[in-house]
């Protein structure tokens, strides 16, 4: 392992297992022996209490509250300033002041800020970073929000989402195209998002000023794992946070376009929509057809659904970055049928570990065929688990991040 690094890691929301990327990257860096200071915001007492767990791991925590009133005010102020609401939503001067105080007294080898909501904190530290012999600044963009908004403005089944994304799209494009050139390194979860940023900023892969690097998401392989419990017959599961417009669109596509075709041939098939905050449209569909549809709302543990369903589906029509729902299902040994959009960001050869189907008729035909083929189910379950073990282990992703930091530090010393 390389020598110990002192890392200032800025996340605009408390890292918890649900916020899987910062949660596992931070734990991976700590496990590799680095000294980490976590700078973050909390919005509830439960999040505030969760910060104690990080302190017990030896992480120094700098935290400030973010009220809904403050976040709403930030969003309003963004409009006349010509910047996207996402870029201003999590701004908290109290945290910014604490970060400057930390930089004035603490050793810092690298500054890492996550998401469009956290980028402003990294930008605010640029003068101090320059004074400290050019401390490298990393922005983990995760996904291109402009790329996501472009798709949502066309394909979301929520009128509100289409209106909001169209309103924000121009500002987000301009801001991301500028922002990508403000950091020594910009991380994204997939080649698709790297290309989206490159096109926004007019960068090519051969451009020496191109800071874009793919750092994929992983999956917790110890937590998400197969179970010996026998899978239920003829059950299809779709998981994800159901307040997210892309997930809602996928769920509506499944229930309205795909499953009617399945039920014509397999009327015994049950669908589970698993995830917190489902909108009324989904709940109404379940209420109208309780023999075939269950919308769970928030569940204490998604794993039993992924471990018991005959198969998992991800009929994603649009999105950005890696679909964690696919990784989690594969890790639990669920045979997966997914749209090309859902797997476009995955590493390696995911098509060998799952079935890809795009149109509603193709997706329905794949579901019917797989429900009738236990041998194929077992084959996909084994291949899916092997795939995530090879390509999406969080400990490997943390090692990649460590190597990115090391390269930036070596470059600073050469310069």
Give pLDDT, residue 51.
97
191-233 per-position pLDDT tens digit: 989 999 999 999 887 777 789 999 999 999 999 999 988 899 9
Give pLDDT, residue 415.
62
145-190 per-position pLDDT tens digit: 988 888 888 888 877 888 888 888 899 999 999 999 999 999 999 9
Give pLDDT, residue 61.
97
Tokens of 80: 């006349």
Q: How far apart are CA 116 and CA 9, in angstroms?
A: 14
Give pLDDT, residue 412.
78
Give pLDDT, residue 163.
86
Give pLDDT, residue 405.
96
Residue ranges of the chain with per-residue pLDDT less than 70 = 1-2, 414-415
Taking each helix axis as running N to C, give the angle between helix 191-201 and helix 159-179, from 0 to 180 degrees, rounded to the nearest 10.
70
Q: Is the model's pTM score more than 0.75?
A: yes
Q: How far apart are CA 40 and CA 95, in angstroms?
A: 8
């Amino acid at each position: 392992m390389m020598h110990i690094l002192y890392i200032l890691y800025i996340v605009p929301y408390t890292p918890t297992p649900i916020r899987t990327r910062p949660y596992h990257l931070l734990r991976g860096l700590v496990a590799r022996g680095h000294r980490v200071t976590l700078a973050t915001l909390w919005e509830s007492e439960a999040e505030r209490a969760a910060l104690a767990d990080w302190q017990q791991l030896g992480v120094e925590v700098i935290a400030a509250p973010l009220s809904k009133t403050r976040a709403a005010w930030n969003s309003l102020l963004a409009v006349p300033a010509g910047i996207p609401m996402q870029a201003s939503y999590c701004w908290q001067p109290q945290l910014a002041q604490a970060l400057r105080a930390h930089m004035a007294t603490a050793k810092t080898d690298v500054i890492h800020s996550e998401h469009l909501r956290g980028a402003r904190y990294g930008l605010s530290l640029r003068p101090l970073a320059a004074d400290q012999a050019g401390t490298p600044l990393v922005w983990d963009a995760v996904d291109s929000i402009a790329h996501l908004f472009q798709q949502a403005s066309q394909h979301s089944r929520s009128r509100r989402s289409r209106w909001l994304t169209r309103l924000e799209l121009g500002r987000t494009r301009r801001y991301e195209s500028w922002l990508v050139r403000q950091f020594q390194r910009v991380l994204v979860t997939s080649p698709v998002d790297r290309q989206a940023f490159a096109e926004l900023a007019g960068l090519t892969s051969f451009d020496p000023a191109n800071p874009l690097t793919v750092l994929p998401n992983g999956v917790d392989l110890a937590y998400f794992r197969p179970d010996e419990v026998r899978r239920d017959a003829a059950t299809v599961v779709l998981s994800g946070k159901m307040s997210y417009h892309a997930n809602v669109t996928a769920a509506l596509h499944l229930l309205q376009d795909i499953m009617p075709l399945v039920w014509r041939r397999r009327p015994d098939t049950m669908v589970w929509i698993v995830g917190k905050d489902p909108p009324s449209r989904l709940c109404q569909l379940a209420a109208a057809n309780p023999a075939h549809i269950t919308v769970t709302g928030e569940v204490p543990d998604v794993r039993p659904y992924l471990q018991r369903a005959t198969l998992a589906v991800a009929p994603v029509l649009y999105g950005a970055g890696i679909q964690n729902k696919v990784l989690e299902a594969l890790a639990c040994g669920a045979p997966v049928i997914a749209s090309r959009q859902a797997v476009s960001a995955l590493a390696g050869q995911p098509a060998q570990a799952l079935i890809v189907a795009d149109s509603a008729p193709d997706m329905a035909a794949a579901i019917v065929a797989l429900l009738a083929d236990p041998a194929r189910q077992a084959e996909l379950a084994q291949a899916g688990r092997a795939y995530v073990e090879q390509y999406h282990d969080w400990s490997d992703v943390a090692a990649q991040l460590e190597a990115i930091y090391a390269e930036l530090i070596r470059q600073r010393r050469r310069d």
